[in-house]
Every structure is written in structure tokens, then in C-alpha cells.
């Protein structure tokens, strides 16, 4: 019997990339899903695909921009209204921003990255944690990055906000572990999603495939990560067997972040 049967998992940024990949893994394992994204068309396509993977689950799409507090409160309310509980929360939505040296960085883009990557993750925690406190249980996975552990050239707001996600993860774990809430973050390296494909286009607009190849050659495993590899890790961290790993920032990067 699946550990996710009768569980409800809320996933932000679920229309594509790492959010959708984890949603597929969790759908197959029997979780009911609340999928949240601001791309309505892609979200509806994701809903149809996820529902087709397992006829025993329900998939509720909620259109929301995670940088808007009222819309975050709304997706949490909708989840509780529809399913009664939130057993797991994959606080995943995020953007990269434009790549540029620190002093040249466009301030409006900088603020947008902060609004989505930092405030969006915070609002999610602010509204999901009280629901889990009432239940006396719940697992949360925030999405940091290797850029939440180390610097990444030309990505100052991304790196700053992902370090902030790591910090909020540690604090949530410290403050709410006593309420039965387990909070961790993942720190993916380069995983081939639409976001990373876009980053390679910024690095080498004429030949993004060459940028990808060059990047992969520096990884100890000599390839990029796959979204479903991340999905499996997220499923473990959201499951009811993840009971004593708390407040950790877990790299999933082929070992690259250990390299000097
Ligand atoms: P992606 O761009 O492929 O998908 C992100 C999804 O989030 C999209 O469906 C998008 O519409 C949605 N989204 C973005 N901003 C939103 C907002 N304000 N409100 C609601 N939905 C929003 O990106 P991805 O690669 O799947 O990245 C997902 C998360 O993983 C991000 O937080 C990213 O920083 C992080 N991450 C990714 C990688 C990687 O290699 N792919 C590495 C480290 C961290």
C-alpha cells in the first residue's frame, strides 16, 4: 500500500519542470494533488496528464501567482476546502531572472526575483504551517538550489533569494518541529527543465546545446540531472517515513557542489 493514499500534497509551480515531475511521481504513488501555477493553460494540461496517471486520485488545479499574498491564502483555503488536510507542501515555484553582473543588474528584475523566490516561498509557509499545526503533522519541501549554498556568476538575486530559502527552511524546522512539522529544502544542480534550457540560451544564444555540453562535462557524473530524479527525492521528503531529517538543505547535483 502506498504511503500517499488519502494524502493531499500541494505543489506550486506545478505546470512544468520540477513541480510537474514531482507531481507525476506523487500521482503514481496515490496522492491527491493541489497543483498551483500562474500559467493557466499549462496548468490545465498538467491536470489532464496527472489525472490520466492514476484513476484513484483527485487533482485540483488552482491558478495563483505565488508572489501575491492573497492568491497564496486562496490556494491554501481551496486545498483545505477540497480535501480537509494538507499532508505535504512542495513550495517549488521560482524564477531565475536575467543573467548579468551584480552592478549592472536590472533593479525591476531583481525585485521580481525577490517577490517570487523569497516572498512567494514565505507566503506559502505562512499559510500552510497553521493548517499543519492544527493537524499536528505535515512535511514541507522548499526549493533552494546549489545557488542557495554557493555563489553563481551573474545570478545575484537568484543566489540571494535561494540562500534566503535555505535560511527560512532552517527557521521553520526550528520553530515548528515541536508541532509535528518536518521542513527541508532541496538544492538541485542543473536539472534539464524549461528554466535551465532558458539559462543555456542566455549563456550561448547561438548554440545553447554547446553550453549544456560544456556544463555537463564539469559534473562528476558527466550529465545534467533529470526532473524525475528530483521528484523521487521530493516524494521521500514529503512521505510519512521522513520523520527525523529536519531543517536540512539537501543537494541533488551529481556531487558537483563538493568540487573546488
Ligand atoms: P520551470 O521554469 O521549468 O518551471 C517553473 C514553474 O513555476 C512554471 O510552471 C512557472 O509557470 C511556475 N511559476 C513561476 N513563477 C510563478 C509564480 N510567481 N506563481 C506561480 N507559478 C510560478 O523551472 P524549474 O526548473 O522547474 O524550477 C522549479 C524550481 O526549482 C525553482 O524554484 C527553481 O529555482 C528551482 N531550481 C531548479 C533547478 C534546475 O536545474 N531546473 C536548479 C535549482 C533550483
CA 7 to mean position of chain CA atoms: 19
Neighbouring residues of 142: CB distance < 8 A, sequence distance ≥ 6: 91, 121, 125, 165, 168, 169, 172, 183, 184, 185, 186
Based on the number of CB atoms within 10 Å of its own CB, is 217 exposed (0-12), middle (13-18) or buried (19 or more)? exposed
Ligand 1: nearest atom to the Cα of 117: 32
Residue 121 has phi, psi (to 5 degrees) of: -70, -40
| CB-based burial label for 27 (10 Å; 0-12, 13-18, 19+) | buried
CB atoms within 10 A of CB 152: 17
Q: Which of 97, 109, 105, 92 is nearest to 199 (CA)?
A: 97
All residues at 6 or more sequence positions from 124 whose CB lies less than 8 Å from its CB, including other chains: 12, 66, 72, 76, 89, 91
ipTM above 0.90, yes or no: yes
Q: Which amino acid residue places its CA nearest to atom 41 of ligand 1?
A: 191
Nearest CA to ligand 1 atom 12: 13
Nearest residue by C-alpha to atom 34 in ligand 1 = 94
pLDDT at position 260 is 84
Q: What CA–CA distances, in Å, run from 229 to 47, 204, 253?
A: 21, 26, 10
Exactly one of 105, 158, 176, 215 is catalytic; which is it? 158
> Which of 109-142 are b and which e, b meaning 16 or more Cβ less than 10 Å from the residue's Cβ?
ebebbbbbbbbbbbbbbebbbebbeeeeebbbbb
Query: 178: CA distance to ligand 1 center in Å?
Result: 30
For residue 143, the cross-strand partners are 186
- Catalytic residue status for 158: yes
Q: What are phi and psi of 163, to 5 degrees?
A: -65, -35
> Nearest-CA neighbor of 148 among 221, 68, 237, 252?
252
pLDDT at 1: 45
pLDDT on residue 2: 54
Q: What local confidence, expressed as pLDDT, does residue 43 receive?
A: 98
CA 94 – ligand 1 centroid, Å: 4
Report pLDDT for 176: 98
**CA–CA dist 53, 47 (Å, integer):** 10
Ligand 1 atom nearest the C-alpha of 198 is 2
- Using CA atoms, how far apart are residues 17 and 2, in angstroms rounded to an integer? 24
Give, using CA atoms, the residue closest to atom 21 of ligand 1: 37
For residue 1, the CA-to-ligand 1 centroid distance in Å is 31
Q: Are strands 59-63 and 88-91 parallel, antiparallel or unpaired?
A: unpaired
Ligand 1, residues at Cβ distance < 6 Å: 12-13, 15-19, 37-39, 42, 65-67, 92-95, 116, 120, 143, 145, 188, 190-191, 193-196
Nearest ligand 1 atom to the CA of 158 is 34
Rounded to whole angstroms, the Cα distance separating 200 from 207 reads: 8
The CA distance from 256 to 221, in Å, is 8
How far is residue 156's CA from residue 101's CA, in Å, rounded to a whole number? Answer: 8
Walk me through the domains of the chain, giving residue ranges and CATH numbers.
8-189+227-245 (3.40.50.720), 191-224 (no CATH)
Closest C-alpha to ligand 1, atom 2: 195
Q: With a cut of 50, which residues of the chain have pLDDT below it?
A: 1
Amino acid at each position: 500500500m502506498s504511503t500517499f493514499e488519502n494524502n493531499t500534497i500541494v505543489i506550486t509551480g506545478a505546470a512544468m519542470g520540477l513541480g510537474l515531475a514531482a507531481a507525476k511521481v506523487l500521482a503514481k504513488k496515490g496522492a491527491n494533488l493541489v497543483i498551483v501555477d500562474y500559467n493557466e493553460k499549462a496548468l490545465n494540461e498538467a491536470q489532464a496528464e496527472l489525472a490520466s496517471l492514476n484513476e484513484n486520485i483527485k487533482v485540483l488545479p488552482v491558478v495563483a501567482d505565488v508572489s501575491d499574498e492573497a492568491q497564496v491564502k486562496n490556494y491554501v483555503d481551496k486545498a483545505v476546502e477540497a480535501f480537509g488536510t494538507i499532508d505535504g507542501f512542495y513550495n517549488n515555484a521560482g524564477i531565475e531572472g536575467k543573467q548579468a553582473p551584480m552592478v549592472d543588474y536590472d533593479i525591476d528584475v531583481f525585485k521580481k526575483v525577490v517577490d517570487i523566490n523569497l516572498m512567494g516561498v514565505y507566503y506559502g509557509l505562512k499559510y500552510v504551517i497553521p493548517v499543519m499545526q492544527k493537524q499536528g503533522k505535515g512535511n514541507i519541501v522548499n526549493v533552494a538550489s546549489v545557488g542557495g549554498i554557493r555563489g553563481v556568476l551573474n545570478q545575484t538575486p537568484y543566489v540571494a533569494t535561494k540562500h534566503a530559502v535555505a535560511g527560512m527552511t532552517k527557521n521553520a524546522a526550528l520553530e515548528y518541529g515541536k508541532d509535528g512539522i518536518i521542513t527541508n529544502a532541496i538544492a538541485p544542480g542543473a536539472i534539464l527543465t524549461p528554466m535551465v534550457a532558458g539559462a543555456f540560451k542566455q549563456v550561448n544564444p547561438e548554440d545553447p546545446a554547446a553550453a549544456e555540453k560544456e556544463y555537463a562535462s564539469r559534473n562528476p557524473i558527466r550529465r545534467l540531472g533529470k526532473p524525475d530524479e528530483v521528484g523521487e527525492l521530493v516524494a521521500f521528503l514529503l512521505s510519512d517515513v521522513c520523520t527525523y531529517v529536519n531543517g536540512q538543505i539537501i543537494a541533488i547535483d551529481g556531487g558537483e557542489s563538493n568540487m573546488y
